[in-house]
Amino acid sequence: MEKVKAMMKSSMDLEALKKRWDYRVARWVSNILNPPLVAAFGIFLMAAVLGTPEAWFWAVVFVFLAVSIPTSYVVWLLKKGRIENFHIPNRENRHGPYKVIILSNLLGVVLMVIFDAPFLLLAFGVIGMMQSFLLYMVNRYWKISGHTTAITGLSVFMVASLGWGMSPVLVMVPLVAWARIRTRSHSFWQTIAGILTGTTFILATWYLFRLVVRSEF
């Protein structure tokens, strides 16, 4: 009985929270800075930095494979009623989308390797694929914030690859973390885990990748 009462109170508190202006702002932040859009923005930014027709071509190809296909799959799940909303709050329901993301990223990376795509875009693709695999493995046992992992990964990658002039983008990290906590999508520690994962994994993978490939973009 006490458990039922607690659930009812939590539901009533959430309904009251949804009427607040800061909750609506947090929802907008979550929707705009969601992982698929963050990935698309990142790859197009890298293409803009390189500024060549080849870079833009590979950016479009990669976004189609690694962003559009997984997003379409999630929309299909939503229409079929297999998930509650686009952000997939239930941890168990995230396994399938993560697999699609990993396979789509892998296909994009293989094509870029075969056809000798620009190093910066290849690095972005490899790191994105490996990060998705890491999130998939963690998600099997514990719910981690994909939003904070994605925005942290992109922000840190931009600073590491393009220099400290890109450091203002780091302000997006606490903003997204606040939004995920405010909408009750994640706990404080789930967002912190996402930030730490995005930071350490991206830095380690980026510098290791450059060491192995020995290339400047």
pLDDT reading at 209 higher than 90: no
Q: Please compute Rg for the chain using Cα positions.
A: 18
Closest to 149 in 3D by CA, of 95, 192, 85, 100: 192
Whole-structure pTM value: 0.84
Residue % of the chain over a pLDDT of 70: 92
**Alpha carbons 99 and 181: distance in angstroms, whole number:** 26
| Per-residue confidence (pLDDT) for residue 26, from 0 to 100 | 94
| Per-residue confidence (pLDDT) for residue 138, from 0 to 100 | 93
Domain boundaries, the chain: 12-213
Helix (H) or strand (E) holding 214: none
| Per-residue confidence (pLDDT) for residue 214, from 0 to 100 | 58
Q: How far apart are the first and last CA of the chain?
A: 62
pLDDT tens for 137-194 read 999 999 999 999 999 999 998 898 888 988 999 999 999 999 999 999 999 999 999 9
- DSSP letter string over 31-54? HHT-HHHHHHHHHHHHHHHH--HH
Closest to 142 in 3D by CA, of 80, 108, 206, 193: 193
